[in-house]
Amino acid sequence: MKAQVLLPKVFNFPFTYNLNNIKTKIGDLVEVPFGSKKELGVIWKNSYLEPKNIKIKNISKKINYSIDEKLIEFVEWFSVYNMVPVGLVLKMVIGGNDKFIKKNDKSIELKKTKKKKFILNKEQLSALSFLETTNNKFDVSVLQGTTGSGKTLVYFERIKKIIKKENQALILLPEIFLTNDFKSRFEDFFGFEPAIWHSKITPKQKRLIWKGIICNEIKIVIGARSSLLLPFKKLGIIIVDEEHDASYKQDEGVIYNARDMAISRANFEKIPIHLVTSVPSIETYNNIQNKKYRHVKIFKRFENYPLPKTKIINLNIVKYKKKFIAKETIQLVKKYLKKKEQVLFFINRRGFAPYLICKNCGRKLVCKNCSLYLTFHKLKNKAICHYCSYEKNIKYKCKSEADCDFIMYGPGVEKIFEEVKEIFPNKKINIFSSDYMKKKDEVEDLFKRINENEIDILIGTQMVSKGFNFPKLNCIVVIDADFSGRGFDLRSTEKNIQLYHQLSGRAGRFSSESLIIYQTLSPLDTTLNELIKNRSEEFLKNELIIRKKNRLPPFIRLISIIISSKDHSLSLKGATEIKIKLNQIKGIEILGPIDSPLLKIKKYFRSRLLVRFNNQALMQIRITNLLNKLKISSKIKLTVDVDPVNFA
């Protein structure tokens, strides 16, 4: 007897092995010889052609774990949809080797914690009742709520009932930094520690959690994108928190949108999925309008505290010398600090200054690997590229033989920190940015000090908007409320609406007197004014009209093909040749080739093609087949991005 065995490698097909009297079924994990090594694989479906005139090896042994056939179906579909080898998708399920299998670990023990009592209000109970009407079959429901309205409590109650029936639950979060704050809220509700899965956990933790999931010993997993492909034994529900967040799109390695794939996995598992948001993504909103997704809203914030009041400060009529915080802003902030309340200064730029130009010779500090300016980081006293991490000292000889005298244009989070420190020298001030939160204990210490009101002022980047709960934060200053995109992101306006709505929700969670200040050079900007009026639905309706008129998602489908080479002319030539071949496929429109807006990244020049086609067709199969037949130069690298979010 023979069996097909899929290996977690860059293959789009399984390999044939002799069973050698070993009893197996589809989904069983087995060890097989591959080349000179032993590899872990999975017994796959017998729907592939067997090789001819090749000596077939024996399976070495069966491992005592098995993945569900529903997950196998999902893996195959995921591979086709995202145009990635099926073996690479399997690697996300079982890992690259037998690291989960050989160690004789004890079962994972999740610590018991002190449980608090939570009582849902009428609105929350009504939303819970609405979500429960699915009868636990496949169903997509959107739980939309004003920031601070207790959406988390609603789906915690939903999960509690599901795990009582011995089912498992997956909660997806967009950022790993969210898990620390979220973990304490989880423990207060459930009375035990959650299993947390993301790229930064240790190999031992991964091994223990993986085993606990496949044996149905772990009931709830809180995870980033990759947790979506874990081998749950009895998955009963999936929650996608902050479903609108662009971080759900993985844009390196295996490229996919975790929110969309979560919906597909729920479909294969025949279970409900809840998308949770304060302002839905444009795709989700469109599906609500088309009655494809069920939809429930929560309006009241905790204890009926109102959303913050808003104040626009027009920087065109404010005189300030090389400073980024207006005098009027300072006076308003002082009122909150006097009441011992916390203030957040928000600037969505890491580092100290995004551009450095010598005022004498005009030298610009640009990355040698990428088409990008280097950002100066005072923390390291170096200019750094945010794409390839290239670092450079900023000492250069100018024309006059003296050192270059660099002017630093535009503020980053470090520059604002310096300015705030100068204005409020006696206050405790901290930066809330990924550059300053590398270690787990640093993150936990910062949250502890924020919650115990030991920090007066936070200077934060976009990270701070993502679901954190700061009890004493009642004033937010947006340093630069600029809503214009850079031309290569069709979602920039949508993202800004979501970002600033989330941000305003960080303030006034336990106060009726909170304020968000927008400093801007464009006080009449339509997006800013829609946001202030809290009319995100009007914006989404209008955005759908624009997208339909311009034949953009969600009304049509897009696939980006990025052609990279260390030789610029080769990338353009390769793109042109690929376009000629793609034109053989009927029913698609090919835009390009053009140079990418970010022409060079990590020493590779990049050209782009954009494939546009009708929503109804799954064109990926035909495009994959054509691309696989192409004889592409080894000097060219192809990257395919299905449903692209970024066009840089």
User: Which class is domain 2-100?
Assistant: alpha beta
Burial of 1 (0-12, 13-18, 19+ CB in 10 A): exposed
Tokens describing residue 297: 């809203």
Tokens describing residue 302: 């905790």
**Radius of gyration of the CA atoms of the chain, in A:** 26
Tokens describing residue 78: 């995921």
pLDDT attached to residue 7 = 95
Query: Backbone dihedral region of 629: left (phi > 0), alpha (psi from -120 to 50 degrees) or beta?
Result: alpha
Q: Thinking of the domain 305-349+411-543, which architecture would CATH place it in?
A: 3-Layer(aba) Sandwich (3.40)
CB proximity list for 30: less than 8 A, separation 6 or greater: 5, 17, 22, 24, 40, 41, 42, 43, 59, 60, 61, 62, 63
- Residue 170 sits at φ, ψ, to 5 deg, of -120, 125
Pick from 236, 187, 207: which is nearest to 101 by CA? Answer: 207
Pick from 221, 149, 215: which is nearest to 186 by CA? Answer: 221
pLDDT attached to residue 184 = 85
Mean pLDDT for each 10-residue chunk of the chain (648 residues)? 92 92 94 92 85 85 93 97 96 74 68 90 96 89 90 96 95 78 88 90 88 94 95 97 92 94 98 95 96 94 78 77 85 94 88 83 89 88 90 83 82 90 94 74 78 89 72 88 61 78 72 85 79 79 92 94 95 95 94 92 95 88 93 92 89
Rounded Cα distance, 325 and 455, in Å: 20
Decide if 272 contacts 139 (C-beta within 8 A): yes
The amino acid that residue 172 corresponds to is L
Count of helix runs (H) and strand runs (E) in the chain: 16, 29
Q: Thinking of the domain 122-301, which architecture would CATH place it in?
A: 3-Layer(aba) Sandwich (3.40)
Write down how long the chain is.
648
Q: Do domains 2-100 and 556-642 have the same CATH topology?
A: no
Q: Which CATH number fits domain 556-642: 3.40.50.720, 3.30.9.10, 3.30.70.600, 3.30.465.10?
A: 3.30.70.600
Rounded Cα distance, 154 and 126, in Å: 9
Domain ranges of the chain: 2-100, 122-301, 305-349+411-543, 556-642
pTM > 0.85: yes or no: yes
Tokens describing residue 344: 């957040």
pLDDT attached to residue 11 = 93
Pick from 534, 539, 538: which is nearest to 307 by CA? Answer: 534
